[in-house]
Amino acid sequence: MLQIQNIRENKESIITALKKRNIDAEPMLSKVLELDEKRRSIQTELDATLAESNKLSKEIGMLFKTGKAQEANALKEKTAGLKETSKTLGDDLNTTADELQQQLYLIPNVPHESVPAGSTEEDNEEIFKEGDIPTLSEGALPHWELAKKYDIIDFELGVKITGAGFPVYKGKGARLQRALISYFLDKNAEAGYTEMQVPLMVNEDSGYGTGQLPDKEGQMYHVQADDLYLIPTAEVPVTNLHRGDLLAESDFPIRYTGYTPCFRREAGSYGAHVRGLNRLHQFDKVEIVRLEHPNNSYQALDDMVEHVKNILRELKLPYRILRLCGGDLGFTSALTFDFEVFSTAQDRWLEISSVSNFETFQANRLKLRYKDENGKSQLAHTLNGSSLALPRVLAGILENYQTDAGIKIPDVLVPYCGFDIID
């Protein structure tokens, strides 16, 4: 959520920056400033009314003490009117403040200056590519056919139990899935991230805190009886660990990692490109989250990108990194780098990680602050990234490591799996 003071002082530059997202922000920003002016005006009037009421209350006390009951009672009638006025003003203030908050929730984050203009994923910038794309033998299969051939993932059984998008992992498929989770968590822990195990459902305040609400409400599973939401990523509960906190500068950096199942409705997702593991309603993901001093957040972002690079190098998967354009940038992000692995059997790139800096956008919603060297409260910066999302990593391994004898296991995963081939 943008800060009102920033909007007030930098309205035109924010309008220009948000054009990268292909939106005209002028009406929204003007509405914010209009509501803020109204809120401040009501607050001023309310403060004056309460001050007058308090002043009269003291005078009434003095009049009663000096035996001037008639004058005191006359003033009491006046204070009754002031109390009614203050109640009306208080209600107006709450209504205006709520309307202002809801308007602020509609405005996306301001893109970083390095974000390219563009409308769709076709306009994203490829900034790095590494790894050799393997040459597969004739008749190489996509992962959903490999899963059936080796009986390691059953998509039809998932449909029977729940519905489409809820696969069942079996035998070596389940063990490979568990191996990837353990490997990712170990790599993150070695890099200084503290492992956290968090709830898989969050309350509404948590959803608003990290920006999934109201922007992604339709994509989240909502348990209406308890007003809880199934998490779309561990970013939500992990970042909310510090909602409302006032940190010291010495607390930075704060680094967390966590494994969770993730749940997304993915409404409207159809077609050949969503077959198999390409897009699911339930999937496993290991996340990294950082809370940083603003002066260090972009160095932290670079460190996170290098960390994900090293994992993919060890897995020996061909990958590339994209800098997302304004039109493809997430609502809460200031700058995002997407990692994609190449699926040789599908002959296409598959997104397996997004690494983002949200600057103060989430922190403002979370009221996540720190005391600076002058003792003043400042907003922290928040970052997160996938390290990694399992379904498409697994798809990439199955397809790129397939041989006539079976599916080889990447060397780094063999100690975790306890086997070196799926046959």
Tokens 């932290």 correspond to what residue?
300
CB 162 within 8 A of CB 156: no
Q: Is the peptide bond before 27 cis (omega within 30 degrees of 0)?
A: no
Q: Is 353 annotated as a binding residue?
A: yes
Give CA–CA dist 289/13, Å, rounded. 29
Residue 384 annotated in ligand binding: yes
**Residue 8 marked ligand-binding:** no
The two structure tokens encoding residue 394: 């697994």
Tokens of 212: 């999934």
Pairing assessment for the beta strands 254-263 and 194-195 based on DSSP bridges: parallel
CA distances from 335 to 107, 143, 210, 257, 338 (A): 16, 32, 15, 20, 10
Q: What is the 8-class DSSP label of residue 214?
A: T
Q: Is 79 annotated as a binding residue?
A: no
**Is 45 labelled a binding residue?**
no
22 annotated ligand binder: no
The reply, when asked if residue 121 is annotated as ligand binding, is: no
Q: Is 264 annotated as a binding residue?
A: yes
Name residues whose C-beta falls within 8 Å of residue 16's C-beta, 6 or more positions apart in sequence. Answer: none
Strand order in the sheet with 246-248: 246-248, 369-371, 377-379
Helix, strand, coil percent content, the chain, rounded in steps of 5: 50, 20, 30
Rounded to whole angstroms, the Cα distance separating 227 from 220 reads 12
Residue 161 in marked binding region: no
Q: Per the annotation, does 292 bind a ligand?
A: no
Give alpha helix (H) positions in 240-333. 297-315
Binding residues: 233, 264-266, 287, 351-354, 384
Binding residues for ATP: 264-266, 351-354
Binding residues for L-serine: 233, 264, 287, 384
